[in-house]
Amino acid sequence: MLDPLFGFKMPSVWTTEKVLALSPDASSSKSGQQLANAQKWGALGHSEVALWGECQGSGKSPYRTQIDLTEPAFRCSCPSRKFPCKHALGLFLIFAGQSGAIPESEPPDWVREWLEKRSQTSQKKQESKAEKPIDPVAQAKRIAQREAKVTAGLAEMRLFLRDVVRQGLATVQTQPYSYWDRAAARLVDAQAPVLAKRIRSMASIPHSGQGWADRLLTELGKLHLLVEGYQRRDKLPETLQAELRSQIGWTLKQDELLGIAEQSDGTVEVCEDCWRVLGRRVITEEDLQVQRVWLQGKESKRSALLLNFAHRSQALECLAVPGTQWQGTLVFYPGLYPIRAALKHREQSTAWTEPKAGHPSIEAAIAQYGIAMAQNPWLETFPMLLTAVMPYWEGKTCCLADGAGARVGLDSGFKQEWMLMALSGGHPVQIFGEWNGSTLMPLSLGVQGRWISLEVPS
């Protein structure tokens, strides 16, 4: 089947695990599995690019469910606001596990019209991007106005940091959340949203238990370094300037990044490889959904992060599914120890089962993290693929240990401990996750030739 957006053939690589990895929450997964029975469906059919069926609900007319397999994308006539809904999950699960139960045929009119509308919408978006002119004078004026706001906001932040240190860290424990929120709100007004997010995340540190003062001082130091560095940015190398701007909240749009790459002037890094999808995570931040997809280059062993965003009520585009791989080209955003990338081109997508290149020990993984932090002290999340580790309980905390006895604790937000224990079966397994400097958030597990997503969307 041919993907109209990227122009690559999409084979049938869907499994039950990969479909459930797209679920918006645990209750949708459970309901979708209950509907994964062809006898509960009518008018089932599939083509090279689409999958459809009708499922009788509580109303008079059955719900019409359709899936664009090239992304995938979903549509259902049911009133659910979840994407994908339980009907889409149930239909997709039948296709993944009982493909023979869905006959191949020509799409009916209601499916064909939807596919044509999607194609037209995509084409209009591309044309709009190409035709929209950029007014350099107006753009320069907007940049100057924002620079002035950011500079004023950072001057206030410098005073805030000095007050915290002068008054002593002990006094911070008595401050309410509004103490940090007011400082963050001023940074939002100054159009420095990433800095504001850092300030808000610091509010919980004084109440995080033993060692909180050291953790808070570390974060305050990083923030101080960022503020001082930005105010001296004109004297710094371009790569460091780019990192500072990113940490403040200046965004480089994907189209702009790809445009810079087309100029082939060496200012951004372009890497072509066979990219393996190691893990996926969806985080909800206020009214925004953030999808994080982690890749690893087969030849380069390079780590890459693809991001996309959607409003809470909208469907996230499926960038990639853990356990698949594709030949493609990525363009990395400029900065120190660049990880985030934009997709320039990709080709055939296939499943993979062979062992992945990971860290041979926890010590080696931590050492690589240290190298990354030495290059970019503001790095918040680091991709960590551990080759052979064993999950175990240490009191009420789930941990991972390697053959040398080194251990790491799992993030408190990880709720699939028993699933992890059951899948490992008491044997060493491969685990991929996000490391924050103290704990690991597992996202995927490699066991017996299978690559299984451990994510349960929030």
Q: What letter represents residue 184's amino acid?
A: A
From residue 92, alpha-carbon distances to 202, 272, 281, 321, 423 in Å are 42, 31, 20, 14, 24
Per-residue pLDDT tens for 1-55? 334 333 333 444 678 887 887 887 778 889 999 999 999 999 999 998 899 999 9
Question: Pairing mode, if any, of strands 407-410 and 439-447?
Answer: parallel
The pLDDT value recorded for residue 93 is 94
From residue 174, alpha-carbon distances to 161, 177, 180, 279, 439 in Å are 17, 10, 12, 39, 27
Percentage of the chain beyond pLDDT 70 is 90
Per-residue pLDDT tens for 281-336? 988 877 788 889 999 999 999 999 999 887 766 666 767 788 888 899 999 999 99
Per-residue pLDDT tens for 40-99? 999 999 998 899 999 988 778 899 999 988 778 899 999 888 888 999 999 999 998 887
Instruction: Report the predicted TM-score, pTM, of the whole model to 2 decimal places.
Output: 0.79
Per-residue pLDDT tens for 224-259? 999 999 999 999 999 999 999 999 998 888 888 988
Q: Given strand 41-46, what is the order of strands in its sheet?
A: 41-46, 50-55, 63-68, 73-76
Closest CA to 68 of 30, 17, 122: 122
Q: Is 322:18 a contact under the CB 8 Å cutoff?
A: yes
Q: What letter represents residue 437's amino acid?
A: G
The greatest distance separating any two alpha carbons of the chain, rounded to the nearest whole angstrom, comes to: 73
Using CA atoms, how far apart are residues 208 and 315, in angstroms rounded to an integer?
Answer: 35
pLDDT band for position 132 (cuts 50, 70, 90): low
| Residue 122 clears pLDDT 90, i.e. is over it | no
The pLDDT value recorded for residue 239 is 92
Q: At what angle do helices 136-167 and 177-189 cross, to 10 degrees?
A: 160
Q: What's the rounded mean pLDDT across residues 202-223?
A: 92
Q: Is 84:315 a contact under the CB 8 Å cutoff?
A: yes
Using CA atoms, how far apart are residues 449 and 429, in angstroms rounded to an integer?
Answer: 10
Using CA atoms, how far apart are residues 250 and 258, in angstroms rounded to an integer?
Answer: 17
Lowest mean pLDDT among 125-139, 149-163, 173-187: 125-139
- Arithmetic mean of pLDDT over the chain: 87
Closest CA to 294 of 222, 365, 356, 367: 356
Q: Give the contacts of 73 (CB within 8 A, at least 6 positions apart).
A: 67, 118, 315, 317, 318
Q: Which single residue is written with the structure tokens 């008595």?
A: 174
Backbone angles phi, psi at 123, to 5 degrees: -65, -40
SS (H, E, C) the chain: CECCCCCCECCCCCCHHHHHCCCCCHHHHHHHHHCCCHHHEEEEEECCCEEEEEECCCCCCCEEEEEECCCCEEEECCCCCCCCCHHHHHHHHHHHHCHHHCCECCCCHHHHHHHHHHHHHHHHHHHHHHHCCCCHHHHHHHHHHHHHHHHHHHHHHHHHHHHHHHHCHHHHHHCCHHHHHHHHHHHHHCCCHHHHHHHHHHCCHHHCCCCHHHHHHHHHHHHHHHHHHHHCHHHCCHHHHHHHHHHHCCCCCHHHHHHHHHCCCCCCEEEEEEEEEEEEEEEEECCEEEEEEEEEECCCCCEEEEEEEEECCCCCCCCCCCCEEEEEEEEECCCCCCCEEEEEEEEEEEECCCCCCCECCHHHHHHHHHHHHHHCCCCCCEEEEEEEEEEEEECCEEEEECCCCCEEEECCCCCCHHHHHHHHCCCCEEEEEEECCCEEEEEEEEECCEEEECCCCC
Lowest mean pLDDT among 124-128, 197-201, 330-334, 415-419: 124-128
CA end-to-end distance (rounded Å), the chain = 32
Q: What's the rounded mean pLDDT across residues 132-159?
A: 86
| Residue 184 clears pLDDT 70, i.e. is over it | yes
Q: Give the contacts of 182 (CB within 8 A, at least 6 positions apart).
A: none
